[in-house]
Structure 1
Amino acid sequence: MMLKVYNCIADAHDFSLVGLAAFICVLASLAAINLLRHARKSTGRMRLVWIAVSAISTGFGIWATHFIAMLAFTPGIPSGYNIALTILSLLAAILLTGAGLSVSLIPNWRHGPWIGGAIVAGGIAAMHYLGMAAFEIAGIVLWDPTLVVASIVIGAVLGATALPVGLHGTDQKWKIGGALLLTLAICSHHFTAMAAVSIIPYAAIEVPLSTLPAGWLAVAVACASVVIIALGLAAIVLDVRDERRSELEVDRMRELANASVEGLLVCDGETIVSVNTSFAHLAGVPASTLVGVRLENCFPDKAARARLLAGSNQVVETALRHSDGSITAVELLLRPIIFSGRPHQVVAVRDLQARKEAEQHIHYLAHHDALTSLPNRSNFNARIEQEIADLAGSESLAVLYLDLDRFKEVNDLFGHAAGDTVLQTVASRVTAVLAEGQMMARLGGDEFAILMPRVTDPEQAGRLAETILEALHAANDTLETNSISTSIGIAICPDDGIDREALLSHADTALYRAKTDGRNTYRFFEASMGTAIRERRMLEHDLRLAIARNELRLVYQPQKGVRSQAMTGFEALLRWKHPARGDISPAVFIPIAEESGSILEIGDWVIQAACREAASWEQPLTVAVNVSAVQLYNPDFVQQLHQTLLDTGLSPKRLEIEITETALVRDFNRALTTLRLVKALGVRIAMDDFGTGYSSLSNLRAFPFDKIKIDGSFIRSVNSNSQAATIVRAVLGLGRGLGLPVLAEGVETDAELQFLRDEACDEVQGYLLGRPAAINNFRHLTHREMVVDDAPEAAPAPRAKSA
C-alpha cells in the first residue's frame, strides 16, 4: 500500500510537534531578521561576526523546523536518519543562508536583498532535500516532480521578498513582516515538498544499523532548538537594547535639532524622516504631519532638488511652499548623516525672507530718497537715459526741473524738521497730479525733477507745470507748508538736447530764468538764456570770494537834521568793484547774495566794518546799516551783533539798523522777537523805504522802530505830483503822531528840501547834501568839532508841540 504524506497528516502526525516546528520556525525567522538588521548597522569584522551568528541561527532554525516536522510523522514502519547526510543538510542550511545574508548587505546595491533572499530560499531547499535524502525507511520513496519544482519556486519567491521587507524602514511592522515572510518561505517549502513524497512499504528493504534513531535525532533537534531559542532571545535583547539606544540617540538628536535656529530635515532619499521645530514653524504645519512626506511637497523646484541631492556641498537657493500655497525664499544645504544606524541626509533650511527683505530695502534705499520716498538722482538718470533710448517717431520727452522758492528761509525760520515736512508735502502734492508713466525724483536738497515721456506738444509740459504750481498753493493748516512755492524750468528732448546732461543743464538754465523773472512760475528753455544764466552764476561764484579778495568796500552818505542843518550821521552803503567787470551795482549783486545765502557773510562784514569805522570817529555820529531779511531771521544775528559792538567798542546808541517792511511779513512773531532783542542791546531801528512795501500801520505800532525813512521815489515827485506830496505829508504827520522821527531819502534839489522843511521833516539824506563816498572824504565832519544834531535822540513831545 502506497503512503501519501499529505494523506496521513490527520492520523500519522503528532500535532504538538508540528506546532513546535512552527514555533521554532517563527522564532528563528525573527532572530534572523533582527540579527541581520543589527549586522547592517555594524562595520568591518563585527559585521562578519553578526552575519555568521545570523546564518547559524537561521540555518539551525530551518534545519530544526524540518526535522521536528519529520519527527512528527510516524509512518508505522521502521525508519531512521543517515548521520552524514543529516549533518550535511545542517551545514548546507547554514552556509547557503550565510551567503544569502551576506549578499543582502552588499552596500549601495538595491538588488542585494532580493538576490540574497533567493539564495536563502535555495539554502532552505538544499537543506530539505538533503534531509529527505538522509531519511532511511523500510520502503521505496517516490517523488512528484511538479510539486518538487513548486516547492522550490514558492520558497524562492517568498525568500526573495522576506529580506527586502525585513530590512526596510525602522518600524516594527517591517521586522515582523520580514520574519513572517521568511517563516512562510520555510513552511511552504517544507509542506509542499512533503506533499511530493510517496512511500511504498517494502519489507525486503532494511534500515541500516548506522542510521540515527529517531530518539537520538530528537536529542539533536532539542539541542538545536535550545541554540535557536538562545540566539533568538539574544537577538531580541540586542534589538530591544538597540531600539532604546536608537530612541535615546534620536531624542538627543531631536533636542539638538530643536535647539537650532535653522530648520533641519532628516531624509531617507527624498522622503522626510524627521524635522525639527524650527522647520515646522517655518513651514507652518505640525512636525508630525511632515514625517513621511516627500521633499517635492515642500520644495517644488525639481532642478533645485536635483542640485541638492547631488551632494555637491553647495548652497541651493529655492522656495519653500506652505500648506496655503504661499512660498518663502530659503537656502538649503545637504550633509550625510547616520540616523538610526543607517545612512541618511540632513538638510539645513535657512529662512531668506529677512535677508531678501533687507536686500530689497537696501536696493530701495539705493534708488530712492529716504525722506520723500521719491526716486533719487541715480534712479532718475537711469530712467531718463532709457526713455531717450526708446524715443521714436514724433514724440518728445520733457524734463521739468523744480527748485523751491526761499526754502532756506523755511529752515531758518521754522527749523530743519519743518523743512523736511515741506519737502514731503511737495513730493506728495506733485506726485498726486502726475499721470501714469510720469516720474518725479528728488535730486538733492530742495531740487526735484519730473520726467514726462510721450509728449506730442510742448504745451503739455506747460500745462503740467501750471498744475504743479496750483497743487502747491493748496491750503494747509501749517504756516510753513502754506508758504510753499516753486520755480520750474522745462527742457524738451530732442529739441533742447539729445542726452541726459544737456537736458538737465538746459532745464536748470530755464529754472534760473524762472527765478530771475519773479519766482513761482515756469519757463521753457531758450538758447538765449544760456549766456545770461552763465553770467549770473559767474557773478554768484565771484561774490562768494569777494570778501577774501578784498573787493568789497563801504561808502557813506551824510544824514542831516532839517531844522539845525547839523550832521546826525551816515548811512553805510556797500559797493563791489569786480577785478574784471569793474563796479557792479548793488541792485545786481544784493539779490544774488540773498538767493545764494552769501548775504549772511557779507552782512556780518558790513556791520563789523561800519561799526569799526564809526568807533574811530571823534564825533558821536550815528551809522546806519541796511540789514537783509535773511540776516534778520538768522538765529545768531542778535548774538553776532552784540559781539561786534563789544569787539569794536561802538556805543549801541550810535548804531542804527534799517529794516524794510517786506522782511517783517514772513514771520511776524519771529521778526518781532528779534527786533526786541536788538532794541534791548540799545541799538536803534529804522523802517526803511516806507511807502513802497506793505506800509502797514499795525507794523509801526507793533515793532519797536526808532525812525521812519520815506523812500526817495516820493521825495522826487513832491514838486510835480500832488498825490506824492500828500503821501509825504501824511507820513510826516504819522511820525509826529507816533513820536517817531522821519528821515526823507533822495533829496536832490533845494525845492525838495524846502518842502520838507516847511512840513517839519526831521532829517534828510540825498545828493543835495552829499553823494555816497569813501569816509575819508568826510573827515572834516567826523573828526573836527562841530554841532551834532541830537534831535533823533530828543523826546518827541517838543516836535509834536511845534507842529
Structure 2
Amino acid sequence: MMPILSCIVHEHNIWLVTGAGLLCCIGSWVTARLFCRTLDTSGLQKHGWQFLTALTGAVSIWCTHFIAMLGFNAGVPVSFSPVLTIASLLIAVIGSTAGFVLAGSRRTGSMPALGGAIVGLSIAGMHYTGMMAYRVQGIMAWDMRYVLVSIALASAFSAVALDIATRPGRHACNFMAVILALAIISLHFTGMTALRIAPAQIEGSFANLEALHALALAIIAVALVIVAAGMTSYLIDDSTRMENLERLHRMAMSDTLTGLPNRASFNDRLDLEIELARGRRGKFALVGIDLNRFKVINDLRGHTTGDEVLRILARRFKGLLREGEFVARTGGDEFSALYRMNDEGSISEFLGRLERALSKCIQLDGFEIPSDASLGVALWPDDASNKEALINNADLAMYRAKADPVQKVRFYEPAMDEVLRARRSLAADLRDALARDQLSVHYQVQASIATGQIHGYEALLRWNHPKLGPIPPTEFIPLAEENGLILPIGEWVLRTACREATLWSPSYKIAVNVSAVQFMHVDLVQLVKSTLAETGLAPERLELELTESTIFTDRERALHMLHQIKELGVSVALDDFGTGYSSLDTLRSFPFDRIKIDRSFCDSGEGSPQTFAIIRAVIALGKAFGIPVLAEGIETDDQLSRLTSEGCDEGQGYLLGRPAPLRQIVETGQLKLIHHERKIIANESGADLQTAFLNSSSNGDTHSTD
C-alpha cells in the first residue's frame, strides 16, 4: 500500500491527479445512473441507454487514465503513440459495451458479476495498451506482482459493482458508482506502481510539460462535456418520466368527468386523516353525500345533462373548500367529504356550505334544474374505531337522511345499527317466506263508479310473518327489490293470481303489478306467455300494471316489450299516474288500456281544489285519448260523488272493497268458483301454496287457504 501512495504523492502532479479522480467519480456516478436506467427499459430504448452507458463509462475510464498519465513525472522526456492511444480508447469502448450489455441481460444470476468482470478486464486492457503507447527516453520494466494485483482489483471491484446495481435497493446505483470508481483508480495507480523506468537520456531530447498539462486540461474538458451529455440525457428522461408518472398518478387518482379526487384518492386521504387524528388525538368528520332525484335528470334531460350537472356541482365544491377539507366523487351521483375538526361548532359551518352548494338551482340550456342531496355524517373516533365502520356509519346516516323528507343532514346514531340489523334480518326472513308458505295474494275489487258493477280485481301481495305478524307491502316490497327477491316473488304472484282467476265465476279481469326491477331483468313476454299456457287463463282477462318510471329506465326496450305483450292479447295499465314523470309523450307513444290515478290525489283532493283540478285534468286527458281512467284510494262517499260528477270511469279503494283473500271474497258472494275438481299445482319449490279445491258443492261452498 505504501508504494502506491508514494507513487501518487511523489511521482504525480497532485492537481492533475485530483482532476482525474474527480472526473473518475463524476463519470462513474453518471455511468451507474445510466446503467440502472437500462435495467428499467426494453427494446430500442434499452439499446439506446446501453450505448450511452458504455460511451460514458469508456470515456471516464480512458480520460481518467490519460489525465493521470499526463500528470505522471517520469523524469525523462515522454511522448505518445497515436495508434496505440486510439486503440486503448477502442478497447475501453468495446469492452465496456460488452460488459454492460451482458450484466444488464439478467439471463442468470451470475450474469451481472460476469459482465462486471469483463468491464474490469477492459479497464486493465485499456490501461496497459495505453502504457504501451507511452514513449519514454529510457527502459520500461514492470513488477508483475503489481500488474496481476491491478488486474484482479479491477475485475473484482467491477464485478461487485454491477452485481450490486442489479439487486433491489434504494442505494444500489450509488454503491455501483463508488465501487466502479475504486476499480478504475485502483487499477491505474497499482499499475503505475508496477512501472519502473531506467533513464536513457539522449542529448537534445526534452519533454514540454506545460504542453502535456494543457493537453490534460483539454482532455478533462472534453471528458466532462461527454459525461455531461450523458447526464443531461438521463435528467431529461428522468424529468419526462416523472412528469408522465405524475400525469398518470393524477389520472389514476382523479375522476375524469368532474376533475375531483376519485374513490382511490378518497381512500388514501381517509387513511391519512386517520393517522393524523391518532397522532394528535384529534377528530374529523366523514360526510356521505348522495344526490336526490338525479336519475330523473338523466331520464328527462339525458345523460349529457346529468354529466354537466355533476361537473357544475364539482366546481362548486372546489370553490368552497378550505384547508383541512376534502371532497371526492366516489360513485355515480355520490360524493364523500372529509373535514378536520378544530372546534366543536366548525362542522356546522362546513355542512352549511355543502348544503348551499348542493341546493342552489342549476341553470343549464335555458332550463332551471333543481338540485338537492342527502348528507350523512359520522365522526372519528366517536362513531367508529376503523375505516370500514366509519364509511358504513356515514352511509347509514345518509340513507336515514334520504328517508327523511325534511331533515337533509343526519348524524350517525348507534340506533341506526339496530335498524340496519333489523332490516337485514327481515331480508333474510323474506328470502325464506316463499318456501315457507308465508306469502299470499289478496284481491281488491275494481268497479264502475257510475253503476258499481265489478270489472275486475287487483292482485296484492301480502306477507304474514310468523313472529312479527303482517308486514306492510311498503316495507317489504322495496326490500325485495334491493335484494333481487322481487324476481321469484313477482313470478309467483303472477302465476298464483292467474291460476286462481281461472276458477272465478264470473270471469272478471285480474290485474297484476309488475315491478321495475322485474320488468328490466326478466323476459316478461316469455313469462306471461308461459304463465297463460300453464294456467289456461284467457289473455284478455289479464292486465299488467306498471308505472311510468319503469318505462323511462329503457324507453325503447320497454315500449317494444309492451307491444309484444299487447300482441298476446294482454292489456296494460299505466299505474300511479300523476306522480313522477307523467309525460304526455308516453300516452301518445303507447296505447294503454287504462290509466290509474294515484291514491295520493284522492287522499288530499277533498280539501284541495288544486289537487282535484289535477284529477279533473287527468280524466279529461283519458277521454281525449280514449283511455278509461281508474281512481285509486277512494275511501269516502264525498270522494266517490265528486269522481262520479267528473265522469271518472272506474274506482278502487276501501269504500268499494278492502283487499281480502279469495276465500273471504267468495264468502261475500262477489265471486263463485267453477264447479269441478281442480288442484292448484305446487310452485317450483315443491311447497303447496294453495289447498286443493275439491268437489265444490252446487251452492259454491268452496274451501281454500290463502
- TM range, smaller chain: 0.5 to 0.7
Deviation at 1:740, TM superposition (A): 1.4
What are the residue-to-residue correspondences of 1:109-124 with 2, within 5 Å? 109-111=4-6
| Cα distance in 1 between the residues matched to 2:613 and 2:363 | 39
What are the residue-to-residue correspondences of 1:443-462 with 2, within 5 Å? 448-456=335-343, 457=345, 458-462=347-351
Match of 2:526 among 642, 655, 658: 642
Larger Rg: 1
2:674 equivalent in structure 1 = 784
What are the residue-to-residue correspondences of 1:625-774 with 2, within 5 Å? 625-631=512-518, 634=520, 636=521, 639-649=523-533, 651-661=538-548, 675-676=562-563, 678-679=565-566, 682-691=569-578, 699-712=586-599, 731-747=618-634, 761-774=648-661
1:622 equivalent in structure 2 = 509
| Cα distance in 2 between the residues matched to 1:677 and 1:508 | 41
| Cα distance in 2 between the residues matched to 1:245 and 1:270 | 13
1:435 equivalent in structure 2 = 322
Alignment of 1:379 with 2:263, yes or no, is: no
Distance 1:397 1:543, change over 3 A: same
Distance 1:651 1:243, change over 3 A: farther
Moved more, 382-391 or 247-256: 247-256
| Cα distance in 1 between the residues matched to 2:280 and 2:424 | 32
DSSP 3-state at the match of 1:624: strand
Contact 1:645 1:651 in 2 (8 A): no
| Cα distance in 2 between the residues matched to 1:734 and 1:419 | 31
What are the residue-to-residue correspondences of 1:358-437 with 2, within 5 Å? 368=253, 373-374=261-262, 375-376=264-265, 378-391=267-280, 397-405=284-292, 430-437=317-324
| Cα distance in 1 between the residues matched to 2:8 and 2:386 | 75
| Cα distance in 1 between the residues matched to 2:583 and 2:296 | 23
Q: Which deviations, in whole Å up to 9, do the C-alpha atoms of 1:384-418 show, x marking residues without a partner?
A: 322422556xx853321223446789999999999
Alignment of 1:314 with 2:314, yes or no, is: no
1:78 equivalent in structure 2 = none
1:464 equivalent in structure 2 = 353
Distance 1:546 1:520, change over 3 A: farther
Contact 2:376 2:412 in 1 (8 A): yes
| Cα distance in 2 between the residues matched to 1:407 and 1:330 | 59
Q: Which deviations, in whole Å up to 9, do the C-alpha atoms of 1:44-87 show, x marking residues without a partner?
A: xxxxxxxxxxxxxxxxxxxxxxxxxxxxxxxxxxxxxxxxxxxx
Letter in 2 for 1:384: E
DSSP 3-state at the match of 1:490: strand
Match of 2:378 among 471, 486, 491: 491
Contact 1:313 1:334 in 2 (8 A): no
| Cα distance in 1 between the residues matched to 2:239 and 2:74 | 49
Q: Which deviations, in whole Å up to 9, do the C-alpha atoms of 1:335-375 show, x marking residues without a partner?
A: 6589999979xx99997959986997899699957876434
| Cα distance in 2 between the residues matched to 1:559 and 1:415 | 37
DSSP 3-state at the match of 1:512: helix
What are the residue-to-residue correspondences of 1:153-302 with 2, within 5 Å? 169=65, 178=74, 180-181=76-77, 246=88, 249-250=91-92, 252-253=94-95, 256=98
DSSP 3-state at the match of 2:164: coil
1:29 equivalent in structure 2 = none
Contact 2:573 2:595 in 1 (8 A): yes
Contact 2:289 2:398 in 1 (8 A): yes
Deviation at 1:744, TM superposition (A): 3.5
Deviation at 1:611, TM superposition (A): 4.3
| Cα distance in 2 between the residues matched to 1:693 and 1:415 | 16
1:146 equivalent in structure 2 = none
Deviation at 1:556, TM superposition (A): 1.6
DSSP 3-state at the match of 1:766: coil
TM-score, scaled relative to structure 2: 0.56
Deviation at 1:466, TM superposition (A): 0.9
Which residues of structure 2 form unaligned runs of 5+? 13-63, 106-114, 128-156, 193-226, 676-706
DSSP 3-state at the match of 1:580: coil
Q: Which deviations, in whole Å up to 9, do the C-alpha atoms of 1:535-582 show, x marking residues without a partner?
A: 445445544555465543321223344577654322111222233321
RMSD (CA atoms): 6.2
Contact 1:554 1:573 in 2 (8 A): yes
Q: Which deviations, in whole Å up to 9, do the C-alpha atoms of 1:279-300 show, x marking residues without a partner?
A: xxxxxxxxxxxxxxxxxxxxxx
Match of 2:470 among 580, 583, 587: 583
Contact 2:299 2:553 in 1 (8 A): no
Contact 1:708 1:742 in 2 (8 A): yes
2:16 equivalent in structure 1 = none
Contact 2:313 2:357 in 1 (8 A): no
Identity %: 35
Letter in 1 for 2:627: L
Deviation at 1:771, TM superposition (A): 2.7
DSSP 3-state at the match of 2:623: helix
Contact 1:314 1:333 in 2 (8 A): no
DSSP 3-state at the match of 1:314: helix
Distance 1:433 1:569, change over 3 A: same
Contact 1:661 1:688 in 2 (8 A): yes
Alignment of 1:572 with 2:467, yes or no, is: no
Deviation at 1:454, TM superposition (A): 3.3
TM-score, scaled relative to structure 1: 0.50
Q: Which deviations, in whole Å up to 9, do the C-alpha atoms of 1:290-347 show, x marking residues without a partner?
A: xxxxxxxxxxxxxxxxx99996953397899xxxxxxx99975856589999979xx9
DSSP 3-state at the match of 1:111: helix
Match of 2:402 among 501, 510, 515: 515
Deviation at 1:585, TM superposition (A): 1.1
| Cα distance in 1 between the residues matched to 2:311 and 2:624 | 48
DSSP 3-state at the match of 2:288: strand
Contact 2:504 2:674 in 1 (8 A): no
Deviation at 1:655, TM superposition (A): 2.8
| Cα distance in 2 between the residues matched to 1:173 and 1:396 | 69
1:281 equivalent in structure 2 = none
| Cα distance in 2 between the residues matched to 1:782 and 1:414 | 50
Deviation at 1:765, TM superposition (A): 3.0
DSSP 3-state at the match of 2:674: coil
Moved more, 255-264 or 529-538: 255-264
DSSP 3-state at the match of 1:491: strand
DSSP 3-state at the match of 2:660: coil
Contact 1:441 1:448 in 2 (8 A): yes
1:556 equivalent in structure 2 = 443
Contact 2:4 2:190 in 1 (8 A): no
Letter in 1 for 2:164: Q
